[in-house]
């Protein structure tokens, strides 16, 4: 009987994977017909083309200085896209098909995480939920970096949970290397390196528990270090991953955004920090000068970060309605057709995940910490839903566990010591 149930569950999840592929291709073919990169996706494609055709990152011309190397975009996704285009030719469609494959991988990884923290039913539910989540489907239709970052993050968490259970060195090192690769894809991955270092610690902790954490962190640093060294050599500044942080902060922490519910606005539109932009243009010093200026601005408006985090949480979690989902899709160079499904799907996942976390189940605590760090590195800065895609994936696993617990409170986890 249990074998038959297992076969049915496996077949069901196989159908979910097929559905994820079909839905992803549907998003490519119908919901996003006429797609052309116009925003950050265009920038990533430009960097990938430069890597493929010129063998280097694009160089920028700075007034009174000359041509300088750049490190504005984190390298993970452009290098991946360039490697793909080296095999297929420079075709946007090839990159989008690869993103569908990354979406399928995220579904499988999420299912593995759900199984470890909540049992087989939770794993199946997590895989199904990730397979049909509209926001994650939208991520498969645009040349943004979030799909790759999400897959690497989930892989790192799954490896860390494996290391936590087995106290083995291999999954510990793998978890660190994967989160290092994620940090090279999006800079907020750097904040997750110590989280993974904590997550790999076995329970109960052996005498060598500190070595496990140190190994994971060291593996992450070894992955990031070559790019940091490249930046030090070519930019003559310490830039761990990219120089985009200052400009990103400047788009939220300015007087105009203060009067527009902490919305991120282009600094060129708000004219915020104009003297700094005029003096440093796109030079490596710009990032540091902007970060310093933003810090001084926050010191004069100490309550604003909390206000920004509140407004952006409303947007990221789907509480701002379909109009914001439509705008978020626009920033992904996508049309409004998926706006209502994205809004409804995000809102439902957020409500279910928050309900599950509120019950304070011990098994879900590690994943809740990952979600908290993702929120803390996103919400104070921006509310664009595409930047919340990794958070959405983690919340989807928590939501799946909550659904399983609600459907069967005394089920698998209660009998086997697993928190469902």
Measured distance CA(311)–CA(390) in Å, rounded:
19
Q: Residue 340 is encoded by which pair of tokens?
A: 């209502």
51 versus 207: the higher-pLDDT residue is 51
Report pTM. 0.89
Q: Could you tell me if residue 1 is inside a domain?
A: no
Measured distance CA(393)–CA(182) in Å, rounded:
15
Instruction: Say what angle helices 146-166 and 169-183 make with each other, to 10 degrees.
Output: 160
Instruction: Report pLDDT for 62.
Output: 54
Domain enclosing residue 63, as ranges: 16-416
Measured distance CA(200)–CA(158) in Å, rounded:
10
Instruction: Report pLDDT for 17.
Output: 58
Region 371-383: mean pLDDT is: 95
- pLDDT tens column, 212-229: 889 999 999 999 999 999
Instruction: Say what angle helices 92-118 and 365-376 make with each other, to 10 degrees.
Output: 140
Q: Could you tell me if residue 5 is inside a domain?
A: no
246 versus 59: the higher-pLDDT residue is 246
Centroid of chain to Cα 310 = 20
Q: Could you tell me if residue 325 is inside a domain?
A: yes
Which residues, 6+ apart, have CB-to-CB distance to 120 below 8 Å?
6, 9, 412
- pLDDT tens column, 151-192: 999 999 999 999 888 877 899 999 999 999 999 999 999 999
Q: Could you tell me if residue 4 is inside a domain?
A: no
Q: Could you tell me if residue 398 is inside a domain?
A: yes
Q: Could you tell me if residue 3 is inside a domain?
A: no
- DSSP letters, 90-124, are S-HHHHHHHHHHHHHHHHHHHHHHHHHHH-HHHHH
Q: Could you tell me if residue 251 is inside a domain?
A: yes
Of all helices (H) and strands (E), which one includes residue 66?
strand 66-69
The mean pLDDT of the chain is: 84
Centroid of chain to Cα 9 = 28
148 pLDDT higher than 80? yes
Instruction: Report pLDDT for 5.
Output: 36
- pLDDT tens column, 296-319: 999 999 999 999 999 999 999 999
Largest interatomic CA distance in the chain: 76
Give me the number of domains the chain comprises: 1
Measured distance CA(107)–CA(112) in Å, rounded:
9
Instruction: Report pLDDT for 278.
Output: 87
The answer to whether the beta carbons of residues 99 and 265 sit under 8 Å apart is no
Q: Could you tell me if residue 142 is inside a domain?
A: yes
Centroid of chain to Cα 168 = 27
The answer to whether the beta carbons of residues 374 and 83 sit under 8 Å apart is no
- pLDDT tens column, 101-141: 898 899 999 999 999 888 888 888 898 889 889 899 888 88
1 pLDDT higher than 60? no
């Amino acid at each position: 009987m249990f074998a038959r149930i297992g076969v049915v569950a496996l077949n069901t999840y196989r159908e979910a994977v097929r559905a994820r592929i079909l839905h992803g291709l549907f998003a490519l073919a119908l919901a996003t017909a006429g797609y052309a990169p116009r925003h950050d996706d265009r920038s990533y494609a430009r960097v990938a083309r430069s890597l493929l055709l010129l063998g280097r990152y694009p160089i920028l011309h700075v007034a009174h200085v000359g041509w300088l190397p750049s490190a504005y975009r984190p390298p993970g996704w452009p290098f991946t896209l360039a490697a793909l285009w080296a095999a297929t030719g420079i075709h946007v469609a090839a990159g989008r098909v690869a993103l569908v494959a990354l979406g399928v991988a995220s579904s499988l990884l999420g299912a593995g995480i759900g199984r470890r923290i909540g049992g087989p039913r939770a794993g199946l539910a997590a895989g199904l939920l990730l397979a049909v989540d509209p926001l994650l489907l939208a991520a498969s239709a645009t040349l943004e970096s979030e799909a790759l970052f999400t897959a690497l993050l989930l892989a790192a968490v799954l490896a860390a949970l494996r290391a936590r259970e087995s106290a083995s060195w291999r999954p510990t090192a793998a978890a660190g290397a994967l989160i290092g690769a994620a940090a090279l894809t999006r800079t907020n991955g750097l904040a997750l390196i110590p989280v993974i270092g904590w997550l790999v610690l076995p329970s109960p902790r052996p005498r060598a528990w500190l070595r496990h954490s140190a190994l994971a962190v060291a593996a992450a640093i070894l992955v990031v270090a070559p790019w940091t060294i490249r930046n030090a050599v070519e930019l003559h500044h310490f830039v761990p991953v990219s120089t985009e942080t200052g400009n990103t902060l400047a788009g939220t922490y300015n007087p105009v955004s203060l009067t527009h519910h902490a919305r991120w606005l282009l600094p060129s539109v708000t004219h915020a920090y104009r003297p700094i932009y005029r003096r440093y243009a796109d030079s490596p010093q710009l990032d540091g000068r902007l970060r310093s200026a933003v810090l001084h601005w926050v010191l004069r408006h100490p309550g604003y970060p909390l206000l920004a985090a509140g407004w952006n949480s409303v947007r990221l979690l789907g509480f701002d309605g379909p109009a914001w989902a439509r705008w978020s899709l626009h920033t992904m160079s996508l049309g409004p057709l998926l706006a209502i499904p994205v809004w409804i799907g995000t809102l439902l996942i957020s409500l279910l995940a928050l309900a599950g976390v509120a019950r304070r189940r011990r098994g879900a605590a590690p994943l809740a910490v990952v979600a908290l760090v993702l929120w803390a590195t996103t919400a104070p800065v921006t509310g664009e839903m595409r930047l919340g895609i990794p958070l959405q994936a983690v919340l989807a696993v928590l939501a799946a566990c909550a659904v399983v617990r609600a459907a069967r409170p005394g089920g698998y986890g209660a009998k086997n010591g697993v928190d469902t």
